[in-house]
Protein backbone atom coordinates (compact mmCIF):
# COMPACT_ATOMS: atom_id res chain seq x y z
CA UNK A 1 0.00 0.00 0.00
CA UNK A 2 1.52 3.30 -1.04
CA UNK A 3 1.97 6.04 1.54
CA UNK A 4 0.28 8.48 -0.87
CA UNK A 5 -2.97 6.53 -0.49
CA UNK A 6 -2.82 5.92 3.25
CA UNK A 7 -2.18 9.52 4.28
CA UNK A 8 -5.25 11.05 2.55
CA UNK A 9 -7.48 8.31 3.99
CA UNK A 10 -6.08 8.92 7.50
CA UNK A 11 -6.73 12.65 7.14
CA UNK A 12 -10.26 11.91 5.90
CA UNK A 13 -10.94 9.71 8.97
CA UNK A 14 -9.73 12.44 11.32
CA UNK A 15 -11.81 15.04 9.50
CA UNK A 16 -14.98 12.93 9.65
CA UNK A 17 -14.50 12.20 13.35
CA UNK A 18 -13.85 15.87 14.14
CA UNK A 19 -16.86 17.00 12.13
CA UNK A 20 -19.09 14.49 13.92
CA UNK A 21 -17.88 15.62 17.35
CA UNK A 22 -18.39 19.27 16.44
CA UNK A 23 -21.98 18.59 15.39
CA UNK A 24 -22.83 16.31 18.32
CA UNK A 25 -26.16 16.98 19.99
CA UNK A 26 -27.38 16.19 23.45
CA UNK A 27 -29.93 13.39 23.17
CA UNK A 28 -31.73 11.19 25.69
CA UNK A 29 -30.68 7.53 25.60
CA UNK A 30 -34.15 6.36 24.59
CA UNK A 31 -34.20 8.78 21.64
CA UNK A 32 -30.82 7.77 20.16
CA UNK A 33 -31.04 6.01 16.79
CA UNK A 34 -30.26 2.29 16.84
CA UNK A 35 -27.08 1.01 15.22
CA UNK A 36 -28.29 -1.65 12.72
CA UNK A 37 -24.81 -3.24 12.65
CA UNK A 38 -24.37 -3.49 16.43
CA UNK A 39 -23.79 -7.26 16.31
CA UNK A 40 -20.25 -6.56 15.09
CA UNK A 41 -17.51 -3.95 15.16
CA UNK A 42 -15.29 -3.28 12.15
CA UNK A 43 -13.93 -6.85 12.10
CA UNK A 44 -14.79 -8.75 15.29
CA UNK A 45 -18.25 -9.80 16.51
CA UNK A 46 -19.78 -8.33 19.63
CA UNK A 47 -21.73 -10.17 22.33
CA UNK A 48 -24.96 -8.82 20.84
CA UNK A 49 -27.10 -10.78 18.38
CA UNK A 50 -29.60 -9.58 15.79
CA UNK A 51 -33.25 -9.52 16.90
CA UNK A 52 -35.01 -12.79 16.12
CA UNK A 53 -36.31 -13.02 12.56
CA UNK A 54 -34.18 -10.16 11.23
CA UNK A 55 -30.96 -9.98 9.25
CA UNK A 56 -28.38 -7.79 7.56
CA UNK A 57 -26.78 -7.91 4.13
CA UNK A 58 -23.91 -5.87 2.82
CA UNK A 59 -20.15 -5.62 2.54
CA UNK A 60 -18.02 -6.77 5.47
CA UNK A 61 -14.52 -5.50 6.17
CA UNK A 62 -12.43 -5.22 4.19
CA UNK A 63 -14.62 -5.75 1.04
CA UNK A 64 -16.41 -9.09 1.45
CA UNK A 65 -20.10 -9.50 0.50
CA UNK A 66 -21.99 -11.13 3.38
CA UNK A 67 -25.38 -11.91 4.88
CA UNK A 68 -26.35 -12.50 8.52
CA UNK A 69 -29.68 -13.71 9.90
CA UNK A 70 -31.11 -14.47 13.33
CA UNK A 71 -32.67 -17.88 12.78
CA UNK A 72 -34.02 -18.07 16.37
CA UNK A 73 -33.90 -16.04 19.56
CA UNK A 74 -30.21 -15.57 20.42
CA UNK A 75 -28.94 -17.50 17.38
CA UNK A 76 -27.23 -15.79 14.45
CA UNK A 77 -25.79 -17.30 11.26
CA UNK A 78 -23.41 -15.28 9.04
CA UNK A 79 -21.78 -16.17 5.74
CA UNK A 80 -19.73 -14.30 3.17
CA UNK A 81 -17.05 -14.65 0.56
CA UNK A 82 -15.08 -13.13 -2.30
CA UNK A 83 -13.41 -14.48 -5.44
CA UNK A 84 -10.38 -12.73 -6.93
CA UNK A 85 -9.81 -13.44 -10.61
CA UNK A 86 -6.24 -12.12 -10.67
CA UNK A 87 -4.05 -11.63 -7.61
CA UNK A 88 -0.59 -10.08 -7.20
CA UNK A 89 2.36 -10.90 -9.44
CA UNK A 90 3.17 -14.59 -9.27
CA UNK A 91 -0.32 -15.57 -8.16
CA UNK A 92 -3.51 -16.14 -10.07
CA UNK A 93 -7.04 -16.62 -8.86
CA UNK A 94 -7.90 -16.68 -5.17
CA UNK A 95 -10.97 -17.05 -2.95
CA UNK A 96 -11.97 -16.55 0.66
CA UNK A 97 -15.27 -17.43 2.33
CA UNK A 98 -16.58 -18.08 5.81
CA UNK A 99 -19.52 -19.41 7.82
CA UNK A 100 -20.10 -18.27 11.42
CA UNK A 101 -22.69 -19.41 13.97
CA UNK A 102 -23.08 -17.27 17.10
CA UNK A 103 -25.21 -17.98 20.17
CA UNK A 104 -26.05 -15.20 22.62
CA UNK A 105 -25.89 -16.70 26.13
CA UNK A 106 -26.70 -13.56 28.12
CA UNK A 107 -28.00 -10.11 27.23
CA UNK A 108 -29.16 -7.87 30.07
CA UNK A 109 -28.25 -4.64 31.85
CA UNK A 110 -25.68 -3.50 29.31
CA UNK A 111 -23.81 -6.82 29.30
CA UNK A 112 -23.93 -9.32 26.43
CA UNK A 113 -22.08 -12.65 26.24
CA UNK A 114 -21.91 -14.92 23.19
CA UNK A 115 -20.00 -17.96 21.96
CA UNK A 116 -19.64 -19.24 18.44
CA UNK A 117 -17.88 -21.34 15.85
CA UNK A 118 -16.61 -20.62 12.37
CA UNK A 119 -15.31 -22.31 9.24
CA UNK A 120 -13.12 -20.32 6.86
CA UNK A 121 -12.15 -21.45 3.37
CA UNK A 122 -9.15 -20.04 1.52
CA UNK A 123 -7.44 -20.86 -1.75
CA UNK A 124 -4.82 -19.26 -3.99
CA UNK A 125 -3.47 -20.26 -7.39
CA UNK A 126 0.33 -20.26 -7.64
CA UNK A 127 1.43 -19.45 -11.18
CA UNK A 128 5.14 -19.48 -10.48
CA UNK A 129 5.23 -23.24 -10.10
CA UNK A 130 6.09 -25.10 -13.31
CA UNK A 131 2.68 -26.75 -13.71
CA UNK A 132 0.70 -24.33 -11.62
CA UNK A 133 -1.18 -25.42 -8.52
CA UNK A 134 -3.45 -24.25 -5.74
CA UNK A 135 -2.83 -23.75 -2.06
CA UNK A 136 -6.07 -24.45 -0.19
CA UNK A 137 -7.04 -24.46 3.46
CA UNK A 138 -10.14 -25.07 5.58
CA UNK A 139 -9.78 -23.32 8.93
CA UNK A 140 -11.99 -24.24 11.91
CA UNK A 141 -12.31 -21.70 14.71
CA UNK A 142 -14.17 -21.11 17.98
CA UNK A 143 -14.64 -17.93 19.98
CA UNK A 144 -16.23 -16.32 23.01
CA UNK A 145 -17.01 -12.62 23.30
CA UNK A 146 -18.39 -10.26 25.95
CA UNK A 147 -19.69 -6.71 25.38
CA UNK A 148 -20.11 -4.30 28.30
CA UNK A 149 -21.36 -0.72 28.24
CA UNK A 150 -24.20 1.60 27.35
CA UNK A 151 -25.50 3.49 24.31
CA UNK A 152 -22.54 5.88 24.35
CA UNK A 153 -19.48 3.79 25.27
CA UNK A 154 -18.96 0.04 24.87
CA UNK A 155 -16.05 -2.32 25.47
CA UNK A 156 -15.85 -5.75 23.79
CA UNK A 157 -13.49 -8.51 24.93
CA UNK A 158 -12.93 -11.64 22.85
CA UNK A 159 -10.98 -14.89 22.93
CA UNK A 160 -10.66 -17.23 19.96
CA UNK A 161 -8.78 -20.25 18.65
CA UNK A 162 -8.18 -21.36 15.06
CA UNK A 163 -5.99 -23.69 13.04
CA UNK A 164 -4.34 -21.31 10.56
CA UNK A 165 -2.50 -22.52 7.47
CA UNK A 166 0.57 -20.42 6.75
CA UNK A 167 -0.63 -17.22 8.40
CA UNK A 168 -1.99 -15.78 5.11
CA UNK A 169 0.87 -13.32 4.90
CA UNK A 170 -0.93 -10.97 7.30
CA UNK A 171 1.59 -11.11 10.11
CA UNK A 172 0.44 -14.18 12.04
CA UNK A 173 2.34 -17.44 12.33
CA UNK A 174 0.68 -20.58 10.98
CA UNK A 175 -0.49 -23.59 12.98
CA UNK A 176 -2.71 -23.49 16.06
CA UNK A 177 -3.58 -19.88 16.73
CA UNK A 178 -5.02 -18.44 19.92
CA UNK A 179 -5.86 -14.78 20.01
CA UNK A 180 -7.39 -12.13 22.22
CA UNK A 181 -9.30 -9.14 20.94
CA UNK A 182 -10.20 -5.82 22.49
CA UNK A 183 -12.72 -3.53 20.83
CA UNK A 184 -14.06 -0.12 21.79
CA UNK A 185 -16.92 1.91 20.34
CA UNK A 186 -17.85 5.46 21.33
CA UNK A 187 -20.89 7.38 20.09
CA UNK A 188 -19.54 10.78 19.08
CA UNK A 189 -22.89 12.08 17.84
CA UNK A 190 -26.39 10.54 17.54
CA UNK A 191 -25.55 8.95 14.16
CA UNK A 192 -21.78 8.49 14.36
CA UNK A 193 -19.52 6.06 16.21
CA UNK A 194 -15.75 5.89 16.57
CA UNK A 195 -14.54 2.26 16.57
CA UNK A 196 -11.17 0.65 17.20
CA UNK A 197 -10.02 -2.95 17.64
CA UNK A 198 -6.76 -4.57 18.73
CA UNK A 199 -5.89 -8.24 18.25
CA UNK A 200 -2.89 -10.15 19.56
CA UNK A 201 -1.77 -13.78 19.38
CA UNK A 202 -1.27 -15.66 22.63
CA UNK A 203 0.39 -18.80 21.19
CA UNK A 204 2.61 -17.27 18.51
CA UNK A 205 3.50 -13.80 17.22
CA UNK A 206 1.39 -11.25 15.43
CA UNK A 207 -0.85 -8.25 16.03
CA UNK A 208 -3.57 -6.50 14.06
CA UNK A 209 -5.28 -3.18 14.69
CA UNK A 210 -8.22 -1.29 13.20
CA UNK A 211 -9.57 2.22 13.54
CA UNK A 212 -12.54 3.77 11.82
CA UNK A 213 -15.90 5.48 12.00
CA UNK A 214 -19.44 4.25 11.47
CA UNK A 215 -22.36 6.32 10.22
CA UNK A 216 -25.84 4.84 10.59
CA UNK A 217 -29.32 6.06 9.81
CA UNK A 218 -32.53 4.09 9.58
CA UNK A 219 -31.73 0.59 8.32
CA UNK A 220 -28.24 1.30 6.94
CA UNK A 221 -24.74 1.54 8.46
CA UNK A 222 -21.51 2.54 6.70
CA UNK A 223 -17.98 1.83 8.00
CA UNK A 224 -14.79 3.55 6.87
CA UNK A 225 -11.39 2.88 8.38
CA UNK A 226 -7.94 1.30 8.26
CA UNK A 227 -6.54 -2.15 9.05
CA UNK A 228 -2.95 -1.99 10.33
CA UNK A 229 -0.75 -5.11 10.48
CA UNK A 230 2.64 -4.24 12.05
CA UNK A 231 4.02 -7.76 11.50
CA UNK A 232 2.95 -7.87 7.85
CA UNK A 233 5.79 -5.53 6.90
CA UNK A 234 6.25 -4.50 3.27
CA UNK A 235 9.75 -4.20 1.77
CA UNK A 236 10.18 -0.87 -0.03
CA UNK A 237 12.61 -0.30 -2.93
CA UNK A 238 14.67 1.92 -0.60
CA UNK A 239 15.27 -1.07 1.68
CA UNK A 240 13.03 0.31 4.42
CA UNK A 241 10.11 -1.64 5.84
CA UNK A 242 6.66 -0.35 6.71
CA UNK A 243 3.60 -1.98 8.29
CA UNK A 244 0.93 -3.33 6.00
CA UNK A 245 -1.96 -0.85 5.95
CA UNK A 246 -5.23 -1.67 4.19
CA UNK A 247 -8.30 0.49 3.64
CA UNK A 248 -11.51 -0.79 5.23
CA UNK A 249 -15.00 -0.32 3.89
CA UNK A 250 -18.21 -1.87 5.24
CA UNK A 251 -21.91 -1.51 4.44
CA UNK A 252 -24.79 -3.13 6.35
CA UNK A 253 -28.48 -3.01 5.45
CA UNK A 254 -30.95 -4.24 8.08
CA UNK A 255 -33.79 -6.53 6.94
CA UNK A 256 -36.92 -7.40 8.89
Domain boundaries in the chain? 3-64+141-255
**3-state class (DSSP) for residue 31:** helix
Residues lower than pLDDT 50 in the chain: 1-5, 21-29, 167-171
| Residue 252 CB neighbour total at 10 angstroms | 24
Task: Provide the pLDDT for residue 55.
Answer: 94
For residue range 157-197, what is the model confidence (pLDDT) as tens digits?
A: 999 998 876 544 444 556 777 899 999 999 999 999 999 99
| Cβ-count burial 209-247 (b if 16+ within 10 Å, e if not) | bbbbbbebeeeebbbbbbbbbebbeeeeeeeeeebbbbb
Amino acid sequence: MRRSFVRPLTVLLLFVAAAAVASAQKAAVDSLPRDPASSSLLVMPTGRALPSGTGTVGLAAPWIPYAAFSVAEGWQVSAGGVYIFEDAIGSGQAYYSYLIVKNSLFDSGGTSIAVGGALMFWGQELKRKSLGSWDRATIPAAFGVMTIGNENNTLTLGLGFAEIEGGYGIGFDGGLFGGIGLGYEARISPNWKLLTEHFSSILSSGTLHTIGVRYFSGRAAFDLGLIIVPNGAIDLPSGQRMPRVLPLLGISIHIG
